[in-house]
Amino acid sequence: MIEPVVAGPPPPPPSRAGPSPRLVALKSRDFRLLLGGQLVSLTGTQMQQVAVVWQLYLLSGSPLALGMLGFFRVIPIVLFALGGGVLADALDRRKLMLATQSALAAVSVALAVLSHAQKTSPAAIYALAFVAGAATAFDNPARQALVPRLVDSAQLPNALSLYVTVFQIATITGPALVGLLLATTGPIFIYVVDVLSYTVVIGALLSLEHRHTGRGASRISFRAAADGLRFLRRTPVIWSTMLLDFVATFFAGSLLLLPIFADQLLRVGPRGLGLLYAAQPFGAALTGAVLSAMRPIRRQGAAMLWSVAVYGASVALFGLSPWFWLSFLLLSLSGAADMVSSIIRNIVRQTLTPDELRGRMSSVVMIFFMGGPQLGEVEAGVVARLFGARVSVASGGILCVAATAAAAFLVPPLRRYRT
């Protein structure tokens, strides 16, 4: 495979490590700092997001109101993501992240103040979700494009696997903690914890020694945005994985309905809700830990298609499950399958994308990666209101499996892709 051309200052020199792929990315001090900071910050973010969903459910009691939260989260992603990618390729990615992380912390401050004053309303939650989505539209491309600058090319697959694993660990720890805290302290304390968690990642960013983080590699212009889209059009393996992810999560991404399952169908309350939210990342983290200690999967196209199919089937069965622990296991299985798919998509994209385009490619990926589940939550809310939550989730999982079969048949290069 031809190595992508890297613009701007060179990355760190190649590692002299032996052939073992186990945790080689942790040899980079800067990557360890960023990874640790993100673990704390993402845990706080997951706590905040579950608290917001539960608070909105108590205020509205409506599946459609829960689904609309996804709408207000995704609209700023669609509007600003490509611009965020252009900035990530033109500016210092570290400094851009400092600004976006500060903005996200301010959102949690506002949530805490509103809750303390008992002024929280669905409209206020939607407005703050829009602001957080706008900040994320600039934060995610900068973060995704920063990681490859902190490790060498031999360490990159392991770094991406570890990064996804840390994300999944955060999504286990956060919901598991928030389930207990919601039942004892309420949402205000959770929002304060989230604010404090952002200070950790901001401190990590300020401590990075590697300063060549992409500045000057691109100009801020519409042409720069178009360059990213032209590259995507010329790379069918990347756009087909993105499209499959969007379709799969649009149909099977219905986690915003979990409060209804916890309260009305499984009758486990806020503590059970925290466990249900932690189930998918629990399965994903276990799978990620195994994959981080293995050599990269070679038949990546086939592995991704099978993993997405298992994800959809698990979600469909979860929608029909009458027992809490079976529901937990099925969600864990779906998380494990989604982890395989996520790591493969990240490795394929980061390997095939030149460094000077990484920010813009990350922004396009974010539109698909976040747009699918967020718009899917709106769809799930509408179907749940018409036919019930179980029908909404089960039918979405079945359609996810059907979409995967269609992709395997219609896009042979994806099915055959291998390293």
The full DSSP string for 101-112 is HHHHHHHHHHHH
Nearest to 280 by CA among 168, 162, 397: 168
The DSSP H or E segment spanning 233 is helix 222-233
Stronger pLDDT, 179 or 243, i.e. the higher one: 243
Q: Are 103 and 135 in contact (CB under 8 A)?
A: yes
Residues whose CB falls within 8 Å of the CB of residue 195, separated by 6 or more in sequence, listed in order:
44, 105, 108, 109, 112
Nearest CA among 214, 294, 215, 212 for reference residue 13: 212
Instruction: Count Cβ atoms within 10 A of the Cβ of residue 1 and give its class: 0-12 exposed, 13-18 middle, 19 or more buried.
Output: exposed
* pLDDT digit string, tens, across residues 65-99: 877 887 888 888 888 877 777 787 777 888 889 99
Cα separation, 273 vs 270, whole angstroms? 5
| pLDDT level of residue 105 (50, 70, 90 thresholds) | very high
Q: What is the pLDDT of residues 220-235, one digit of tens each?
A: 656 666 766 777 777 7
Q: Which residues contact 399 (CB under 8 A, 6 or more apart)?
A: 251, 252, 312
Reported as a pLDDT band with limits 50, 70 and 90, residue 129 is: very high
pLDDT interval class at 110 (50, 70, 90):
very high
pLDDT at position 5? 33
Looking at residue 23, what is its pLDDT? Answer: 73
* Alpha-carbon span 11 to 350, nearest angstrom: 14
Whole-angstrom Cα distance, residue 166 to residue 171?
9
Q: Once rounded to an integer, what is the mean pLDDT over residues 155-171?
A: 78
Chain centroid offset of residue 112 CA: 24
Q: Are 179 and 244 in contact (CB under 8 A)?
A: no
| 14 in Cβ contact with 154 (< 8 Å) | yes
Q: Residue 118, class by beta-carbon neighbours within 10 Å (0-12 exposed, 13-18 middle, 19+ buried)?
A: exposed
Structure tokens at 139: 């934060």
> Which of 313, 337, 326 lies closest to 275 in space, CA to CA?
326
Q: What does the pLDDT average to over 29-48?
A: 89
Is pLDDT at 3 greater than 60 in this prediction?
no
Of 176 and 46, more confident: 46
**Do residues 268 and 395 lie in contact, with contact meaning Cβ atoms separated by under 8 Å?**
no
| Residues 396, 315: Cα–Cα separation, whole Å | 8
| Percent of the residues in the chain that have a pLDDT greater than 90, as a whole number | 19
Mean pLDDT of 290-309: 79
Q: Which of 186, 37, 199 is nearest to 112 (CA)?
A: 186
The CA distance from 269 to 183, in Å, is 9
Residues 6+ apart with CB under 8 A from 410: none
Rounded Cα distance, 65 and 122, in Å = 8
Spatial distance between the Cα atoms of 312 and 398, rounded to a whole number of angstroms? 6
| Torsional sign, CA 221, 222, 224, 225 | positive
Q: What is the pLDDT of residues 379-417, one digit of tens each?
A: 787 888 888 888 888 998 999 999 888 888 887 777 777
CA distances from 111 to 10, 61, 122, 131, 152 (A): 42, 19, 12, 12, 40
| Alpha-carbon distances of 200 from 2, 41, 325, rounded to whole Å | 38, 7, 35
